[in-house]
Structure 1
Amino acid sequence: MQQIHIYPIGTPGQKWTQKEVQQWHESRNIQRSYKDEVLSKMDEINDSFERVQYGELDYSSGPYPLFGFKSKQWNSKNPTVLVTGGVHGYETSGVQGALLFLKETASQYQSDFNFIIAPCVSPWGYEIINRWNPKAIDPNRSFVENSPAPESALVMQFVKDLGVEIFAHIDLHETTDSDEEEFRPALAARDGLECFEGSIPDGFYTVGDTENPCEEMQTAIIASVEKVTHIAPADPDGTIIGSKVVQHGVINYPLEKLGLCAGFSKAKYTTTTEVYPDSAKATVEECNRAQVAAITGMLDYLKEL
């Protein structure tokens, strides 16, 4: 029998009001530094990329300046690739992997692609180590018109203002033990629902778009990542986090319908990565490198089209 999780904030079965949202917000604490762990690393990016401040989040523990990078030598004949990380700020390797790619690898592909890279979309979430923003809104369900999450709205505007067609978009994420321990129970409590015990996949997987799954590209990404870390097996029912496994290490979601980041760009090729940092089989460095391998796996595939 599945265990029901009870969250310590709110009344079971009742949606949160502003009172519970405020109670939740006040219970959050800063656990690490966006300035020290993210902004300082941006200073190490080589000058082949232009650093652009595209906004600022004016939160009580902030302000949080938001930065993206774009290829300085822009070639209008090259396809444009968008890389986003830290939409869920607590998913560390998404942020650090994007920065690592910028620092060490991206320049190797600049003759073939233009890049737009937003390494840390949700810096408050990064510092608090949380999925939501201070208003208990999930940025990765908020990539919609008139978005309720400024994190989502600002990065969408940044990309829109560049006025270019996005050929491919990879959004870097993690699935962690805290999803089951904290974030799913919190979501159910916020929405007045029951939360039943689930499972966390041990390994890397990707989420393609139900409407445009890009099967061959997903295969190439899995093959690239498999050189760095292990791929999540399907559960006994043939699913990963409740979704049907369509090929080794790949599931699909309707990205745009759900307001997910990888769907807003309307790119021809899209994917979302999911790394498992709590695995006994993977180190922090391997998780960061897995994100880089996912990006390069995608790029190597696209180069051959």
Structure 2
Amino acid sequence: MTTAQDPIGTPGTPWGDAERALWRSRQSRRRSYADDVLAAIDRLRGRFDVFEYGQLEYAPDGYPLLAIRSRDWDDALPCVLVTGGVHGYETSGVHGALLFADRHGADYAGKANLLVAPCVSPWAYERIHRWNPDAIDPNRSFHADSPARESAALMQLVEPLRGRFLVHVDLHETTDSDESEFRPALAARDGQPYEPGEIPDGFYLVDDSANPQRAFQQAVIDAVAKVTHIAPADADGRIIGSPVVAPGVIEYDVGRLGLCAGITGARYTTTTEVYPDSPRATPEQCNAAQIAAVCAAIDFALAHGGDAGKG
């Protein structure tokens, strides 16, 4: 695992336009959004409403942003948002969202309105990266006047329904490349020293410290534990530097940090973190963990949530 600072730029000096351009020139397409995501969405058109909520133009490429919505949408029902691929490199988030819609979307007909944005960051999906082409992390950019077009488009999609969401599940991964590639690049971009961290072996969740929902998070952990292992705390009782507040659960102030999980105002929100590099987990298990998390989250919220919005 590489622990040296990213070689782009001058140590101690934040990147400017030249450094960002150099970084962008080193990124290459490694997989196809059209083949992996758009084709999978096309197969769902017979059962769901599919619509474009934005278009990203990153010359020479263009990316339609597609969402999947319950065909039997009922304004009297609570709304559920499932998001994947906010960080494009986090593969099971994208495929977990698509597989959830395919395999379990019909389970919630007449119970909830589903809105699924399976790949928020298609440019990064193709390049297996965390950032967008401007070297911006979309998952720190969900705020007013967002510099990330991916984040702004998703917020515009969600805004008319704010206050009506009961649950939002944002699907992510924590990978070895977070330490070998992305955190060193972040330090270089911001002109900061790189301080090595520790990648947890297993699945965990991020709760909202401004709206903690312990029983909800526990229900999700219990469901996922049947599919894959839950990350233990480290020797200091932490996961990725944050105190463990319950088995497999840490907290962030998601709104203050501009995280995707803060965009809906839902009563029940969680961010999943799958560990795909574990020798104890296969890609199929990672997808299954995401699906189990979404189903458990919706089931708990419908059983306990009552009206939408924070209680």
Distance of 2:198 and 2:59 partners within structure 1: 35
Q: Is the 8 A contact 1:69 1:118 kept in 2?
A: yes
Normalising by structure 1, report the TM-score.
Answer: 0.97
Q: For residue 198 of structure 1, what is the aligned residue in structure 2? A: 197
Q: What SS is found at the alignment partner of 2:89?
A: coil
Q: Is the 8 A contact 2:3 2:180 kept in 1?
A: no
2:262 corresponds to 1:273: no
Q: What SS is found at the alignment partner of 2:58?
A: coil
Q: For residue 75 of structure 1, what is the aligned residue in structure 2? A: 74
1:4–1:45 CA distance, 2 compared to 1 (3 A): closer
Q: What SS is found at the alignment partner of 1:195?
A: coil
Give the 4+ runs in structure 1 shifted more than 3 A: 161-164
Question: How do 1:236-255 residues align onto structure 2 when only pairs under 5 Å count?
Answer: 236-255=235-254
CA offsets, 1:44-70, max 9 Å, x none? Answer: 215332001011110124200100011
Q: Is the 8 A contact 1:88 1:131 kept in 2?
A: yes
Q: Is the 8 A contact 2:121 2:132 kept in 1?
A: yes
- Structure 1 residue 163: Cα displacement: 6.6
What amino acid sits opposite 1:287 in the alignment? C
Normalising by structure 2, report the TM-score.
Answer: 0.95
Q: Is the 8 A contact 1:147 1:153 kept in 2?
A: yes
Distance of 2:302 and 2:255 partners within structure 1: 26
Q: Is the 8 A contact 1:5 1:196 kept in 2?
A: no
Q: Is the 8 A contact 1:15 1:191 kept in 2?
A: yes
Q: What SS is found at the alignment partner of 1:173?
A: strand
Q: Is the 8 A contact 1:48 1:73 kept in 2?
A: no
What amino acid sits opposite 2:261 in the alignment? A
2:53 corresponds to 1:54: yes
- Structure 1 residue 84: Cα displacement: 0.5
Question: How do 1:11-30 residues align onto structure 2 when only pairs under 5 Å count?
Answer: 11-30=10-29
2:110 corresponds to 1:111: yes
What amino acid sits opposite 1:175 in the alignment? T
1:301–1:180 CA distance, 2 compared to 1 (3 A): same
* Root mean square deviation, CA, Å: 1.3
Number of aligned positions between the proteins? 303
Q: Is the 8 A contact 2:204 2:248 kept in 1?
A: yes
Distance of 2:4 and 2:205 partners within structure 1: 27
Q: What SS is found at the alignment partner of 1:257?
A: coil
Structure 1 alignment gaps of length 5 or more: none
Distance of 1:168 and 1:302 partners within structure 2: 7
CA offsets, 1:173-220, max 9 Å, x none? Answer: 000000000000000000000011111011100000001111100000
Distance of 1:246 and 1:110 partners within structure 2: 34
What amino acid sits opposite 1:11 in the alignment? T
Q: Is the 8 A contact 1:5 1:194 kept in 2?
A: no
2:287 corresponds to 1:288: yes
Distance of 1:163 and 1:248 partners within structure 2: 30
- Structure 1 residue 237: Cα displacement: 0.3
Distance of 1:4 and 1:58 partners within structure 2: 34
Q: For residue 127 of structure 1, what is the aligned residue in structure 2? A: 126
What amino acid sits opposite 1:247 in the alignment? A
1:121–1:53 CA distance, 2 compared to 1 (3 A): same
CA offsets, 1:149-193, max 9 Å, x none? Answer: 000000111122457621111100000000000000000000000
Distance of 1:266 and 1:61 partners within structure 2: 36
Q: Is the 8 A contact 2:203 2:231 kept in 1?
A: yes
Q: What SS is found at the alignment partner of 1:82?
A: strand
Q: Is the 8 A contact 1:5 1:197 kept in 2?
A: no
- Structure 1 residue 77: Cα displacement: 2.1
Q: For residue 143 of structure 1, what is the aligned residue in structure 2? A: 142
Deviates more, 1:261-270 or 1:155-164: 155-164
Distance of 2:120 and 2:239 partners within structure 1: 26
Q: For residue 174 of structure 1, what is the aligned residue in structure 2? A: 173
Identity %: 55
Q: Is the 8 A contact 1:4 1:194 kept in 2?
A: no
